[in-house]
Amino acid sequence: MANIGVCIEPFFSDLPYRDRMARVHDLGFKHYEFWFHNMRFDGSNLIPEDKDFEEIAELNGRYGLTCTDFVFNHPDGGIVGAMIDKKDRDLILDSFGAMINLARKIGCKAFISGAGNNVPGLSRQEATANMIETLKACAEVAEKEGITLILEPFNTRVDHPDYFLDDPHACVEVLKEVGSGNVKMLYDIYHMQIMDGNVVAFIRENIRHIGHFHVAGVPGRHEPYDCELNYPFIIREIDKLGYKGGVGLEYWPTIDHSESLKRTKAYLEG
């Protein structure tokens, strides 16, 4: 069965992360994820603030929680660098090692990476080739360290108009070229419903390339129990395929955060 967890960034944003983790535990979740190692999201903005990985490790042990992943590389390439830009390759690789050391402290074995925003004057063909070469270099490190790098396509119709990688099929072709079981796709169902639809058929065909899922309602990125998608059906299909990885709840709650997560958990697991 898939491991349904909580992205702790959009939830309980008025609380320190230790209290967010306590809330996740109290609601019956065993898995969680977060965004950046050096940024705190306060509900509106990202604020520079290093996360305390020693404290996170202690809280994992206390509550029996597992961190499924966190963001290594920002979607637009503004934090660390752009996968599609060759000049950022060394910066990305240098940062990758430091992130692995942090992940090891908390028993986390996966990172999220964006591809980067479009670069003026850079053709799609060259950008794709650059991304493949950078991912191949990351894969060598990931394979040695037992880490999975998960590449995320985003929608360009609503949320990320300048983003390069907005096609899940193109993402799969990139992953095939990289050829490593340690580099997979983050299939964000919200983003990909907006861009491509045909969600379950895509998952059935490409589950071997998917290393993580994100869940949110369409439209609006709110509660998944009140939207155009039949999420219980989607989760059942994922389970039938034998997927054992993470399914992260990453949405903007419209009601009390605990109540929203409680209802969502019951809806998805019901």
Catalytic residues: 152, 250
176/155 Cα distance (integer angstroms): 21
For 61, counting Cβ atoms within 10 Å of its Cβ (0-12 exposed, 13-18 middle, 19+ buried), the class is exposed
Q: Which two tokens stand for residue 203?
A: 């998952």
Please enumerate in sequence order all residues whose Cβ is within 8 A of that of 100, keeping only pairs 6 or more positions apart, or say none: 141, 145, 147
Task: Check if the beta carbon of residue 191 is closer than 8 Å to that of residue 154.
Answer: yes
Rounded to a whole number of angstroms, the distance between the first and last alpha carbons of the chain is 13
Angle (CA) 180-184-185 rounded to 5° is 155
